[in-house]
Amino acid sequence: MEKLLEILEGIRPDVNFENEKKLIDDGLLDSFDIVSIISELNDEYNIAIRVTELKPENFNSAESIMNLVLKLKNSN
């Protein structure tokens, strides 16, 4: 989780990723941010986030992003 928070804060240092639970719903992340996050996650965790996983519930919080990463890592 620590590495994920580093990635997220590197992309958007102005957002409190540890406490925010509605990153997408509240408009804190835009489509460019999501593309950047996906690129970083794919590289860091050696996963492939597919279009079918691009749902707000997968990106609304650091916890939901981490759950997605773990799900994809375990399915490899």
Residue 76: pLDDT above 80? no
User: In terms of residue numbers, what domain contains 31?
Assistant: 2-13+21-75
pLDDT (tens digit, 9 = 90+) per residue, 17-59?
999 999 999 999 999 999 999 999 999 999 999 999 999 999 9
pLDDT of amino acid 74: 93
Question: Considering its fold, how many domains does the chain have in total?
Answer: 1
Task: Name every residue whose Cβ is closer than 8 Å to that of residue 72 and which is 6 or more positions away in sequence.
Answer: 45, 47, 48, 49, 53
- Residue 37 zone, left/alpha/beta (φ > 0; ψ -120 to 50; rest): alpha
Task: Check the CA dihedral 40-1-56-48 and report its sign.
Answer: positive
DSSP character at residue 47? -
**CATH code (residue 47):** 1.10.1200.10
The pTM assigned to this predicted structure is: 0.94
**Which position has the token pair 């489509």?**
31
pLDDT digits (tens, 9 = 90+) for 54-70: 999 999 999 999 999 99
